[in-house]
């Protein structure tokens, strides 16, 4: 009985701490990679078809492959297909769309890094929650129910992480 009590005292919050670390890690990686993807694009590359011996096809056949690459010139916070829909939405001011388009990628990366290293985890979680709400509003306005539900799940994960934040053991700023 005594060993059980000591075990509970020692690791009583271990489950909550581990749950928080998992949420923190997932939300951090999700935000960082979503931000980085704002600089991604695809280009077509032609590769020769190789025969069984590994030599280029004698007939000169080629494959068109799409290759992903990242560049500062590729940046689009809001995908072009959605941006045109947003531009036609009267409830979404143009300045807000432009601001969101410019800041979304960097803010996702910043909040993800903050969360990953434990620098103001509550602040970074709150900012991510606000981002997901803002993204949801945009998708509601252009009637994208699948994306709205997807972002709702993200918001629920952020809320869960905020509830577990008191169990955070690895942080640079405990209060924030």
**Model confidence pLDDT, tens digit, residues 17-33:** 899 999 999 999 999 99
Report the distance separating Cα 65 and Cα 27, nearest Å: 32
Give the number of domains in the chain.
1
* Residue 102 located in a structural domain: yes
* Residue 114 located in a structural domain: yes
* Residue 175 located in a structural domain: no
Query: For position 8, what pLDDT does the model report?
Result: 52
> Quick one: residue 60, left, alpha or beta (phi over 0 = left, psi -120 to 50 = alpha)?
left
CA proximity to 151, closest of 124, 127, 123, 131: 131
* H or E segment and range at residue 168: none
- List the domain range (segments joined by +) for residue 81: 13-38+75-167
Asked if pLDDT for residue 121 goes beyond 80, the answer is: yes
> For residue 9, what pLDDT band results from cuts at 50, 70 and 90?
low
The mean pLDDT of 150-164, rounded to a whole number, is 95
Report the distance separating Cα 125 and Cα 133, nearest Å: 12
The mean pLDDT of 32-39, rounded to a whole number, is 96
Query: For position 108, what pLDDT does the model report?
Result: 97
* Residue 6 located in a structural domain: no
Report the percent of the chain where pLDDT is more than 90.
53
State the chain's mean pLDDT as an integer: 87
The mean pLDDT of 134-142, rounded to a whole number, is 92
Count of CB atoms within 10 A of residue 26's CB?
14
* Residue 119 located in a structural domain: yes
The mean pLDDT of 89-93, rounded to a whole number, is 86
* Residue 43 located in a structural domain: no
* Residue 159 located in a structural domain: yes
Q: Residue 44 pairs with which residues in a beta bridge? A: 66
Query: For position 1, what pLDDT does the model report?
Result: 47
* Residue 117 located in a structural domain: yes
What's the angle, vertex CA 144, arms to CA 34 and CA 81, rounded to 5?
65
Q: Residue 48 pairs with which residues in a beta bridge? A: 62
């Amino acid at each position: 009985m005594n060993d059980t009590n000591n075990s509970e005292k020692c690791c009583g919050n271990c489950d909550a701490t581990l749950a928080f670390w998992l949420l923190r890690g997932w939300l951090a990686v999700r935000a960082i990679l979503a931000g980085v993807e704002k600089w991604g694009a695809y280009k077509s590359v032609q590769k020769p078809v190789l025969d069984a011996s590994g030599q280029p096809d004698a007939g000169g056949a080629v494959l068109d492959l799409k290759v992903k690459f990242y560049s500062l010139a590729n940046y689009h916070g809001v995908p072009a297909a959605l941006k045109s829909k947003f531009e036609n939405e009267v409830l979404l001011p143009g300045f807000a769309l432009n601001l969101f388009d410019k800041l979304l990628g960097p803010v996702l990366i910043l909040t993800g890094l903050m969360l990953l290293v434990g620098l103001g985890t509550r602040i970074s979680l709150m900012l991510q929650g606000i981002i997901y709400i803002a993204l949801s509003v945009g998708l509601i306005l252009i009637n994208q129910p699948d994306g709205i539900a997807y972002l709702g799940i993200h918001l629920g994960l952020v809320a869960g992480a905020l509830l577990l934040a008191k169990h955070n053991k690895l942080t640079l700023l405990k209060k924030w």
